[in-house]
Amino acid sequence: MQSLGCDVAALNTVQFSNHTGYRQFTGTRVSASEITDLYRGLKQSYLDDFDMMLSGYVPGAPALEAVGEIAKELKEKAQTRGKPGSFFWVLDPVMGDNGSLYVAQDVVPVYKGLVKYADLILPNQFEAELLSEVKIVDMPSLTRAISVLHERYAIPHIIITSVSLPDSSSPSFTAPNSSAPTPTPQEEGQSQPPRTKTLSVVGSTMTSTRQPRAFQISFPAIDCYFSGTGDMFSALMLVRMREAVYNTEGGLTERESWLSDDAVDALDLPLAKAAEKVLGSMHEVLTKTAEGMKGRVERARGFVEEQLKREEQRANGVNGCANGNGNGDGHVDKKAKLEPETNGNGVPGEEKTEEERVKGEEDERRKQVEELEKEEAEARKRLHLMKSKSAELRLVRHLDSLRHPEVEFRARRIECS
Protein backbone atom coordinates (compact mmCIF):
# COMPACT_ATOMS: atom_id res chain seq x y z
CA MET A 1 0.00 0.00 0.00
CA GLN A 2 2.84 2.39 0.79
CA SER A 3 4.48 1.64 -2.55
CA LEU A 4 1.27 2.82 -4.22
CA GLY A 5 1.13 6.08 -2.29
CA CYS A 6 -0.85 5.28 0.86
CA ASP A 7 0.03 6.60 4.31
CA VAL A 8 -0.39 3.55 6.51
CA ALA A 9 -0.76 3.10 10.25
CA ALA A 10 -0.26 -0.59 11.00
CA LEU A 11 -1.74 -2.27 14.08
CA ASN A 12 -0.27 -5.75 14.27
CA THR A 13 -2.51 -8.54 15.53
CA VAL A 14 0.46 -10.87 16.01
CA GLN A 15 4.11 -10.23 16.79
CA PHE A 16 5.80 -13.21 15.16
CA SER A 17 9.41 -13.62 14.13
CA ASN A 18 8.26 -14.99 10.77
CA HIS A 19 5.12 -16.36 9.14
CA THR A 20 3.83 -19.74 10.26
CA GLY A 21 4.62 -21.45 6.95
CA TYR A 22 8.12 -22.00 8.31
CA ARG A 23 6.55 -24.42 10.85
CA GLN A 24 8.48 -22.70 13.61
CA PHE A 25 8.27 -19.18 14.98
CA THR A 26 8.58 -17.15 18.14
CA GLY A 27 6.48 -14.30 19.38
CA THR A 28 3.02 -13.61 20.75
CA ARG A 29 -0.54 -12.89 19.69
CA VAL A 30 -1.72 -9.37 20.46
CA SER A 31 -4.59 -9.18 22.94
CA ALA A 32 -7.83 -7.27 22.48
CA SER A 33 -6.80 -4.73 25.12
CA GLU A 34 -3.48 -4.07 23.37
CA ILE A 35 -5.27 -3.44 20.04
CA THR A 36 -7.71 -1.08 21.72
CA ASP A 37 -4.92 0.70 23.58
CA LEU A 38 -2.89 1.25 20.40
CA TYR A 39 -5.90 2.72 18.62
CA ARG A 40 -6.62 4.97 21.63
CA GLY A 41 -3.05 6.25 21.34
CA LEU A 42 -3.65 7.17 17.69
CA LYS A 43 -6.86 8.99 18.59
CA GLN A 44 -5.38 11.06 21.39
CA SER A 45 -2.78 12.38 18.97
CA TYR A 46 -5.43 13.06 16.29
CA LEU A 47 -3.99 10.41 14.05
CA ASP A 48 -7.29 8.62 13.42
CA ASP A 49 -8.32 10.53 10.28
CA PHE A 50 -8.46 7.34 8.17
CA ASP A 51 -10.46 7.10 4.96
CA MET A 52 -9.94 3.35 4.53
CA MET A 53 -9.26 0.37 6.76
CA LEU A 54 -8.01 -3.11 5.88
CA SER A 55 -8.32 -5.93 8.39
CA GLY A 56 -6.91 -9.42 7.91
CA TYR A 57 -5.76 -12.25 10.14
CA VAL A 58 -6.95 -11.91 13.74
CA PRO A 59 -6.21 -15.02 15.84
CA GLY A 60 -8.96 -14.87 18.48
CA ALA A 61 -12.55 -13.76 18.96
CA PRO A 62 -11.88 -11.01 21.57
CA ALA A 63 -9.18 -9.45 19.39
CA LEU A 64 -11.46 -9.64 16.35
CA GLU A 65 -14.22 -7.90 18.28
CA ALA A 66 -11.75 -5.13 19.18
CA VAL A 67 -10.85 -4.69 15.50
CA GLY A 68 -14.55 -4.56 14.65
CA GLU A 69 -15.18 -1.83 17.22
CA ILE A 70 -12.50 0.32 15.60
CA ALA A 71 -14.11 -0.08 12.18
CA LYS A 72 -17.61 0.67 13.51
CA GLU A 73 -16.36 3.79 15.28
CA LEU A 74 -14.71 5.09 12.11
CA LYS A 75 -17.85 4.41 10.06
CA GLU A 76 -20.01 6.17 12.63
CA LYS A 77 -17.69 9.17 12.60
CA ALA A 78 -18.04 9.42 8.80
CA GLN A 79 -21.83 9.30 9.11
CA THR A 80 -21.84 11.96 11.83
CA ARG A 81 -19.83 14.29 9.62
CA GLY A 82 -22.40 13.85 6.87
CA LYS A 83 -19.82 12.22 4.61
CA PRO A 84 -20.70 8.51 4.51
CA GLY A 85 -18.36 7.92 1.57
CA SER A 86 -15.34 9.22 3.47
CA PHE A 87 -14.62 5.85 5.12
CA PHE A 88 -14.46 2.42 3.50
CA TRP A 89 -13.74 -0.86 5.31
CA VAL A 90 -12.13 -3.77 3.44
CA LEU A 91 -12.54 -6.94 5.50
CA ASP A 92 -10.64 -10.13 4.73
CA PRO A 93 -12.40 -12.72 6.93
CA VAL A 94 -9.41 -14.97 7.46
CA MET A 95 -10.71 -18.22 8.94
CA GLY A 96 -9.35 -21.15 6.97
CA ASP A 97 -8.98 -22.81 3.59
CA ASN A 98 -9.52 -26.12 1.82
CA GLY A 99 -12.21 -27.19 4.27
CA SER A 100 -10.21 -26.55 7.46
CA LEU A 101 -10.25 -23.76 10.02
CA TYR A 102 -6.99 -22.28 11.23
CA VAL A 103 -8.61 -19.99 13.77
CA ALA A 104 -10.62 -20.88 16.87
CA GLN A 105 -14.20 -21.97 16.27
CA ASP A 106 -15.58 -18.97 18.17
CA VAL A 107 -14.09 -16.61 15.57
CA VAL A 108 -16.66 -17.67 12.94
CA PRO A 109 -19.78 -16.20 14.62
CA VAL A 110 -17.88 -12.97 15.34
CA TYR A 111 -17.19 -12.56 11.62
CA LYS A 112 -20.85 -13.25 10.87
CA GLY A 113 -21.71 -10.40 13.21
CA LEU A 114 -19.18 -8.00 11.67
CA VAL A 115 -19.48 -8.48 7.91
CA LYS A 116 -22.66 -6.36 7.79
CA TYR A 117 -20.53 -3.35 8.73
CA ALA A 118 -17.93 -3.98 6.02
CA ASP A 119 -18.00 -2.30 2.62
CA LEU A 120 -15.98 -4.97 0.81
CA ILE A 121 -15.23 -8.52 1.95
CA LEU A 122 -12.61 -10.81 0.44
CA PRO A 123 -13.33 -14.40 1.52
CA ASN A 124 -11.84 -17.42 -0.19
CA GLN A 125 -14.17 -20.19 -1.35
CA PHE A 126 -14.20 -21.99 2.01
CA GLU A 127 -14.75 -18.77 3.97
CA ALA A 128 -17.61 -17.79 1.65
CA GLU A 129 -19.22 -21.14 2.47
CA LEU A 130 -18.88 -20.49 6.20
CA LEU A 131 -20.45 -17.04 5.97
CA SER A 132 -23.26 -17.89 3.55
CA GLU A 133 -23.88 -21.43 4.79
CA VAL A 134 -24.05 -22.49 1.13
CA LYS A 135 -21.85 -25.37 -0.05
CA ILE A 136 -20.08 -24.20 -3.21
CA VAL A 137 -19.70 -27.00 -5.75
CA ASP A 138 -20.42 -25.29 -9.06
CA MET A 139 -21.20 -21.88 -10.53
CA PRO A 140 -24.93 -21.88 -9.59
CA SER A 141 -24.10 -22.62 -5.95
CA LEU A 142 -21.39 -19.97 -6.01
CA THR A 143 -23.77 -17.29 -7.29
CA ARG A 144 -26.30 -18.45 -4.70
CA ALA A 145 -23.70 -17.89 -1.96
CA ILE A 146 -23.09 -14.38 -3.28
CA SER A 147 -26.82 -13.64 -3.33
CA VAL A 148 -27.14 -14.81 0.28
CA LEU A 149 -24.27 -12.58 1.40
CA HIS A 150 -25.87 -9.56 -0.27
CA GLU A 151 -29.37 -10.28 0.98
CA ARG A 152 -28.64 -11.49 4.51
CA TYR A 153 -25.84 -9.12 5.47
CA ALA A 154 -26.31 -6.24 2.99
CA ILE A 155 -22.61 -6.46 2.08
CA PRO A 156 -22.13 -3.92 -0.75
CA HIS A 157 -19.09 -5.46 -2.45
CA ILE A 158 -17.86 -9.07 -2.46
CA ILE A 159 -14.91 -10.80 -4.07
CA ILE A 160 -14.45 -14.53 -3.57
CA THR A 161 -10.84 -15.49 -4.19
CA SER A 162 -9.14 -18.71 -5.28
CA VAL A 163 -12.26 -20.17 -6.85
CA SER A 164 -11.62 -23.59 -8.36
CA LEU A 165 -14.67 -25.28 -9.83
CA PRO A 166 -14.82 -28.32 -12.15
CA ASP A 167 -16.93 -26.49 -14.73
CA SER A 168 -14.87 -23.30 -14.92
CA SER A 169 -15.07 -21.59 -18.26
CA SER A 170 -12.18 -20.62 -20.50
CA PRO A 171 -9.67 -18.16 -19.09
CA SER A 172 -10.42 -14.46 -19.56
CA PHE A 173 -6.86 -13.22 -19.74
CA THR A 174 -4.99 -11.49 -22.52
CA ALA A 175 -1.38 -11.02 -23.46
CA PRO A 176 0.45 -7.92 -22.22
CA ASN A 177 -0.82 -4.69 -23.81
CA SER A 178 -3.55 -6.55 -25.66
CA SER A 179 -7.07 -5.19 -25.56
CA ALA A 180 -8.89 -8.04 -27.29
CA PRO A 181 -9.74 -11.40 -25.71
CA THR A 182 -7.59 -14.30 -26.82
CA PRO A 183 -9.63 -16.38 -29.32
CA THR A 184 -10.52 -19.86 -28.18
CA PRO A 185 -9.45 -22.88 -30.24
CA GLN A 186 -13.08 -23.42 -31.25
CA GLU A 187 -13.26 -19.88 -32.62
CA GLU A 188 -10.18 -20.56 -34.71
CA GLY A 189 -11.54 -23.89 -35.94
CA GLN A 190 -8.85 -25.84 -34.14
CA SER A 191 -9.07 -28.93 -32.00
CA GLN A 192 -9.10 -28.48 -28.23
CA PRO A 193 -5.54 -28.56 -26.79
CA PRO A 194 -4.85 -29.54 -23.18
CA ARG A 195 -6.43 -26.88 -20.98
CA THR A 196 -4.16 -24.75 -18.83
CA LYS A 197 -5.21 -25.03 -15.20
CA THR A 198 -6.97 -21.84 -14.17
CA LEU A 199 -8.29 -20.20 -11.04
CA SER A 200 -10.85 -17.46 -10.76
CA VAL A 201 -12.05 -14.64 -8.60
CA VAL A 202 -15.77 -13.97 -8.61
CA GLY A 203 -17.00 -10.55 -7.56
CA SER A 204 -20.26 -8.68 -7.20
CA THR A 205 -21.57 -5.25 -6.24
CA MET A 206 -25.16 -5.26 -5.04
CA THR A 207 -27.95 -3.08 -6.38
CA SER A 208 -30.19 -0.87 -4.24
CA THR A 209 -32.43 -3.92 -3.74
CA ARG A 210 -29.49 -6.15 -2.71
CA GLN A 211 -29.42 -8.02 -6.01
CA PRO A 212 -25.99 -9.20 -7.27
CA ARG A 213 -24.14 -7.80 -10.24
CA ALA A 214 -21.62 -10.59 -10.61
CA PHE A 215 -18.52 -11.06 -12.73
CA GLN A 216 -15.73 -13.61 -13.02
CA ILE A 217 -12.07 -13.15 -13.87
CA SER A 218 -10.04 -16.27 -14.65
CA PHE A 219 -6.27 -16.46 -14.73
CA PRO A 220 -3.66 -19.18 -15.31
CA ALA A 221 -2.57 -20.99 -12.17
CA ILE A 222 1.16 -21.08 -11.44
CA ASP A 223 2.31 -24.46 -10.17
CA CYS A 224 4.19 -23.19 -7.14
CA TYR A 225 3.56 -22.58 -3.47
CA PHE A 226 3.71 -18.91 -2.49
CA SER A 227 3.54 -17.10 0.84
CA GLY A 228 1.74 -13.79 1.13
CA THR A 229 -0.64 -13.94 -1.85
CA GLY A 230 -3.73 -13.25 0.27
CA ASP A 231 -2.18 -10.22 1.94
CA MET A 232 -0.98 -8.90 -1.39
CA PHE A 233 -4.39 -9.31 -3.00
CA SER A 234 -6.29 -7.56 -0.21
CA ALA A 235 -3.81 -4.67 -0.01
CA LEU A 236 -3.90 -4.11 -3.76
CA MET A 237 -7.70 -4.34 -3.83
CA LEU A 238 -7.93 -1.56 -1.25
CA VAL A 239 -5.76 0.76 -3.32
CA ARG A 240 -7.21 -0.10 -6.73
CA MET A 241 -10.80 0.10 -5.50
CA ARG A 242 -10.23 3.63 -4.28
CA GLU A 243 -8.47 4.50 -7.53
CA ALA A 244 -11.32 3.09 -9.66
CA VAL A 245 -13.95 4.95 -7.62
CA TYR A 246 -12.10 8.27 -7.85
CA ASN A 247 -11.78 7.78 -11.62
CA THR A 248 -15.55 7.36 -11.88
CA GLU A 249 -17.74 10.38 -12.58
CA GLY A 250 -20.97 11.16 -10.76
CA GLY A 251 -19.83 11.81 -7.20
CA LEU A 252 -19.42 8.15 -6.31
CA THR A 253 -16.88 9.01 -3.62
CA GLU A 254 -19.57 10.80 -1.63
CA ARG A 255 -21.92 7.82 -1.53
CA GLU A 256 -22.02 5.35 1.31
CA SER A 257 -19.98 2.24 0.46
CA TRP A 258 -19.28 3.71 -2.98
CA LEU A 259 -22.32 1.96 -4.46
CA SER A 260 -22.84 2.52 -8.19
CA ASP A 261 -26.25 3.24 -9.70
CA ASP A 262 -28.34 0.17 -10.50
CA ALA A 263 -27.98 0.91 -14.22
CA VAL A 264 -24.21 0.33 -14.12
CA ASP A 265 -23.35 -3.00 -15.73
CA ALA A 266 -21.32 -5.60 -13.83
CA LEU A 267 -18.34 -5.19 -16.17
CA ASP A 268 -18.28 -1.41 -15.67
CA LEU A 269 -18.28 -1.54 -11.88
CA PRO A 270 -15.27 -0.02 -10.08
CA LEU A 271 -14.95 -3.37 -8.28
CA ALA A 272 -14.47 -5.20 -11.59
CA LYS A 273 -12.00 -2.61 -12.89
CA ALA A 274 -10.02 -2.80 -9.66
CA ALA A 275 -9.91 -6.61 -9.66
CA GLU A 276 -8.72 -6.71 -13.27
CA LYS A 277 -5.75 -4.49 -12.46
CA VAL A 278 -4.95 -6.28 -9.20
CA LEU A 279 -4.81 -9.67 -10.91
CA GLY A 280 -2.48 -8.26 -13.56
CA SER A 281 -0.04 -7.20 -10.84
CA MET A 282 -0.48 -10.48 -8.98
CA HIS A 283 0.25 -12.57 -12.06
CA GLU A 284 3.39 -10.63 -12.91
CA VAL A 285 4.81 -10.71 -9.37
CA LEU A 286 4.02 -14.41 -8.90
CA THR A 287 5.54 -15.28 -12.27
CA LYS A 288 8.74 -13.40 -11.48
CA THR A 289 8.89 -14.87 -7.98
CA ALA A 290 8.49 -18.38 -9.42
CA GLU A 291 11.29 -17.77 -11.92
CA GLY A 292 13.68 -16.72 -9.18
CA MET A 293 12.42 -19.45 -6.87
CA LYS A 294 13.59 -22.23 -9.17
CA GLY A 295 17.22 -21.18 -8.90
CA ARG A 296 17.08 -20.62 -5.15
CA VAL A 297 15.39 -23.95 -4.50
CA GLU A 298 17.82 -25.84 -6.75
CA ARG A 299 20.79 -24.31 -4.96
CA ALA A 300 19.27 -25.18 -1.60
CA ARG A 301 18.46 -28.72 -2.74
CA GLY A 302 21.98 -29.17 -4.10
CA PHE A 303 23.49 -28.05 -0.81
CA VAL A 304 21.27 -30.34 1.24
CA GLU A 305 21.70 -33.32 -1.10
CA GLU A 306 25.46 -32.97 -0.88
CA GLN A 307 25.21 -32.89 2.89
CA LEU A 308 22.97 -35.97 2.88
CA LYS A 309 25.38 -37.76 0.55
CA ARG A 310 28.26 -37.18 2.95
CA GLU A 311 26.15 -38.40 5.84
CA GLU A 312 25.15 -41.50 3.87
CA GLN A 313 28.79 -42.27 3.21
CA ARG A 314 29.48 -41.91 6.91
CA ALA A 315 26.53 -44.15 7.68
CA ASN A 316 27.81 -46.81 5.31
CA GLY A 317 31.14 -46.60 7.05
CA VAL A 318 29.45 -47.15 10.40
CA ASN A 319 27.25 -50.02 9.26
CA GLY A 320 30.00 -51.81 7.40
CA CYS A 321 32.94 -51.04 9.67
CA ALA A 322 35.35 -53.77 10.80
CA ASN A 323 35.00 -55.06 14.30
CA GLY A 324 37.78 -55.23 16.78
CA ASN A 325 38.81 -58.67 15.51
CA GLY A 326 39.49 -57.48 11.96
CA ASN A 327 36.73 -59.50 10.31
CA GLY A 328 35.13 -56.48 8.67
CA ASP A 329 31.73 -58.12 8.59
CA GLY A 330 30.20 -56.46 11.61
CA HIS A 331 30.13 -59.75 13.59
CA VAL A 332 32.17 -60.72 16.59
CA ASP A 333 34.43 -63.76 16.31
CA LYS A 334 33.23 -66.00 19.09
CA LYS A 335 36.61 -67.75 19.18
CA ALA A 336 38.62 -64.58 19.28
CA LYS A 337 41.15 -64.32 22.06
CA LEU A 338 40.24 -61.66 24.60
CA GLU A 339 43.24 -59.44 25.14
CA PRO A 340 43.46 -57.63 28.44
CA GLU A 341 42.86 -53.89 28.14
CA THR A 342 45.36 -51.48 29.54
CA ASN A 343 44.85 -48.30 31.49
CA GLY A 344 46.44 -45.00 30.47
CA ASN A 345 49.85 -46.09 31.83
CA GLY A 346 50.02 -49.30 29.83
CA VAL A 347 49.31 -51.42 32.89
CA PRO A 348 46.88 -54.26 32.14
CA GLY A 349 43.40 -53.60 33.48
CA GLU A 350 40.42 -55.81 34.01
CA GLU A 351 39.57 -58.04 31.08
CA LYS A 352 36.17 -57.53 29.38
CA THR A 353 33.99 -60.49 28.72
CA GLU A 354 32.96 -61.30 25.18
CA GLU A 355 29.38 -60.14 25.87
CA GLU A 356 30.59 -56.82 27.25
CA ARG A 357 32.71 -56.19 24.20
CA VAL A 358 29.84 -57.05 21.83
CA LYS A 359 27.46 -54.80 23.75
CA GLY A 360 29.96 -51.93 23.72
CA GLU A 361 30.42 -52.16 19.95
CA GLU A 362 26.67 -52.31 19.36
CA ASP A 363 26.06 -49.30 21.61
CA GLU A 364 28.71 -47.33 19.77
CA ARG A 365 27.24 -48.18 16.37
CA ARG A 366 23.72 -47.32 17.54
CA LYS A 367 24.92 -43.97 18.87
CA GLN A 368 26.58 -43.15 15.56
CA VAL A 369 23.48 -44.14 13.55
CA GLU A 370 21.26 -41.99 15.77
CA GLU A 371 23.60 -39.06 15.29
CA LEU A 372 23.51 -39.49 11.52
CA GLU A 373 19.71 -39.69 11.50
CA LYS A 374 19.53 -36.51 13.53
CA GLU A 375 21.86 -34.74 11.09
CA GLU A 376 19.76 -35.98 8.17
CA ALA A 377 16.56 -34.65 9.78
CA GLU A 378 18.28 -31.32 10.39
CA ALA A 379 19.35 -31.16 6.74
CA ARG A 380 15.81 -31.80 5.54
CA LYS A 381 14.49 -29.17 7.93
CA ARG A 382 16.98 -26.69 6.55
CA LEU A 383 15.78 -27.46 3.02
CA HIS A 384 12.18 -26.74 4.08
CA LEU A 385 13.23 -23.41 5.63
CA MET A 386 15.11 -22.45 2.48
CA LYS A 387 12.07 -23.33 0.36
CA SER A 388 9.85 -21.29 2.68
CA LYS A 389 12.01 -18.24 2.24
CA SER A 390 12.13 -18.66 -1.54
CA ALA A 391 8.29 -18.85 -1.62
CA GLU A 392 7.91 -15.35 -0.18
CA LEU A 393 6.71 -12.85 -2.76
CA ARG A 394 9.38 -10.50 -4.04
CA LEU A 395 7.34 -7.31 -3.93
CA VAL A 396 9.98 -4.66 -3.40
CA ARG A 397 12.01 -5.98 -6.32
CA HIS A 398 9.06 -5.72 -8.69
CA LEU A 399 7.48 -2.37 -7.92
CA ASP A 400 6.81 -1.70 -11.60
CA SER A 401 4.51 -4.73 -11.66
CA LEU A 402 2.61 -3.33 -8.70
CA ARG A 403 2.30 0.15 -10.15
CA HIS A 404 2.04 -0.45 -13.88
CA PRO A 405 1.23 -4.09 -14.71
CA GLU A 406 1.48 -5.04 -18.37
CA VAL A 407 -0.55 -8.24 -18.14
CA GLU A 408 -4.26 -7.55 -18.57
CA PHE A 409 -7.25 -9.59 -17.46
CA ARG A 410 -10.85 -9.10 -18.49
CA ALA A 411 -13.94 -9.78 -16.41
CA ARG A 412 -16.98 -11.48 -17.86
CA ARG A 413 -20.53 -11.16 -16.67
CA ILE A 414 -22.21 -13.92 -14.67
CA GLU A 415 -25.96 -14.38 -14.65
CA CYS A 416 -27.32 -15.02 -11.16
CA SER A 417 -30.52 -17.01 -10.84
Q: What is the pLDDT of residues 131-151, one digit of tens each?
A: 999 999 999 999 999 999 999
Cα gap 138→216, rounded to integer Å: 13
- Average pLDDT of the chain, as a whole number: 83
* 97 catalytic per annotation: no
Query: 404 or 395: which carries more pLDDT confidence?
Result: 404
pLDDT at 227: 80
Percentage of the chain lying above the pLDDT 70 cut:
79
What one-letter code names the amino acid at 67? V
In this prediction, residue 326 has a pLDDT band, given cuts at 50, 70 and 90, of very low
Catalytic residue selected from 48, 51, 97, 231: 231
Q: What is the pTM of this model?
A: 0.78
Q: Tens digit of pLDDT for each residue in 268-293?
A: 999 999 999 999 999 999 888 888 77
pLDDT at 338: 45
pLDDT at 267: 97
Contact 74, 29 (CB under 8 A): no
Phi, psi of 62 (to 5 degrees): -60, -40
**In sequence order, what are the beta bridge partners of 217?**
201
pLDDT at 414: 94
- Per-position b or e across 223-251, b if 16+ CB within 10 A of its CB: eeebbbbbbbbbbbbbbbbbbbbeebeee
What one-letter code names the amino acid at 197? K
